[in-house]
Amino acid sequence: MQLTVAGGKDIKVSEATFGREFSEALVHQVVTAYLAGGRAGTKAHKNRSAASGGGKKPWRQKGTGRARVGTIRSPIWRGGGKTFAATPQDHSQKVNRKMYRGAIQAILSELVRQGRLVVVDSLELKEPSTAALKAELAGLDFEQGLIVTHELDENVYLSSRNLPGVYTVDVSGIDPVSLVAADKVIMTVEAVNKVQEWLG
């Protein structure tokens, strides 16, 4: 399989990485698990045992004419504990390495089929310059999306920070959510080679 580099030449790439059949179920599962793993899960309320006070029975069991009660921290009392109190939870889901890599391959392959993956020979700036990067991206018909370099290029990263909707990562920073959300993805040839090494 071949990918066309901006400028005309073609490069040979792995069919398994850039020509895989798209599996909506697999991508959905991996994206859902990735987002779930980002949840803090720190929500918590106090139940009747966690609420402070309430150790003493307010009045005797019988003879007062009032309803029986054992603690002032009963959930039906003002200031009492919550009946079904929320507790901190771990929302992370287990995703096998093979599934995760398969989902990345499926997303990249779909980007290629839809013409949303742009491969460039290199993307280098002599110094951080938003205007220079914007001009270079305009030549690639790229307004918003993800820029992937083989290593995090500080000049490109700093230049892209002020462009709305443009994000720069290296190959190790690729994740399924960013790829799915991107309008377009720009990858350097070196990044493509590194992705193939990673995904096999």
What pLDDT does 82 receive? 97
Triad 192, 110, 173: Cα angle to 5°: 45
CB-CB contact of 166 with 144 (8 Å): yes
CB-CB contact of 161 with 137 (8 Å): no
pLDDT one-digit tens code per residue, 117-169 = 999 998 889 999 999 999 999 989 999 999 999 998 899 999 999 999 999 99
- Can you tell me whether residue 146 is helix, strand or coil? strand
Q: Indicate where the chain has its CATH 3.40.1370.10 domain(s).
A: 2-39+92-199
- Give the single-character DSSP code of 62: S
What b/e string do you get for 31-52 counting C-beta neighbours within 10 Å, with b at 16 or more?
bebbeeeeeeeeeeeebbeebe
Task: Indicate whether this model's pTM tops 0.85.
Answer: no
pLDDT one-digit tens code per residue, 90-103 = 999 999 999 999 99
Closest residue by Cα to residue 147 from 139, 157, 155, 138: 157
Q: Is the pLDDT score of 200 beyond 80?
A: no
Q: Is the pLDDT score of 56 beyond 90?
A: yes
Q: In this predicted model, which residue has the larger pLDDT, 58 or 6?
A: 58
Phi-psi region of 8 (alpha: psi -120 to 50; beta: other; left: phi over 0): left
pLDDT one-digit tens code per residue, 66-90 = 999 999 999 999 999 999 999 999 9
CATH class name, domain 2-39+92-199 = alpha beta
